[in-house]
Amino acid sequence: MTLKVYLSGEIHTDWREEIIAGCAGLDMAFSAPVTDHAASDDCGVAILGPEDSKFWHDHKGAKLNAIRTRRSIEQADVVVVRFGEKYKQWNAAFDAGMAAALGKSLIVLHGAEHQHALKEVDAAALAVAERPEQVAQMLRYVLEGRLPG
């Protein structure tokens, strides 16, 4: 059966494309949050009307995005969460917490500089990788049982 993979977290590099390319030819279906930053921030007010307060502006957008995000996590077999070099990225950690509580297989992807700060998230994961290529290799191994090289 198709392996369903949700690619959560950082949206400013092309790590998703790298993983998807690395899994070419395999029976997998990838999903992701909306990665158009502007659309993601403004979707709520763009469709449902403007808000004076920044809090409610963001609130309407975050809730609309949650329809997509939660569905993707709930339907996924594997949730990959990527922490990049910048920003707070609390939504990434939040997604990881949801994935863990729902019993999803969690893979965390981050650089060594975040190791200590992410130790609780890593502790809930079935794998911790540093490079997208490793994630693709793992997904391939999970489906086909063959190691790279």
Length of the chain: 149
> Which of residues 13 and 37 has its CB atom nearest to a copy of itself in the complex?
37
Q: State the minimum distance, in angstroms, from the CB of residue 25 to a copy of itself.
A: 18
Q: State the minimum distance, in angstroms, from the CB of residue 15 to a copy of itself.
A: 16
> Which of residues 18 and 91 has its CB atom nearest to a copy of itself in the complex?
91
Q: State the minimum distance, in angstroms, from the CB of residue 51 to a copy of itself.
A: 8
Q: How far apart are CA 41 and CA 143, in angstroms?
A: 35
Q: State the minimum distance, in angstroms, from the CB of residue 85 to a copy of itself.
A: 12
Nearest Cα to Cα of residue 104 among 116, 113, 96: 96
> Which of residues 7 and 118 has its CB atom nearest to a copy of itself in the complex?
118
SS (H, E, C) 53-102: CHHHHHHHHHHHHHHHHHHHHHHCCEEEEEECCCCCCHHHHHHHHHHHHC
> Which of residues 13 and 115 has its CB atom nearest to a copy of itself in the complex?
115
What would the two tokens of residue 112 be? 């060594």
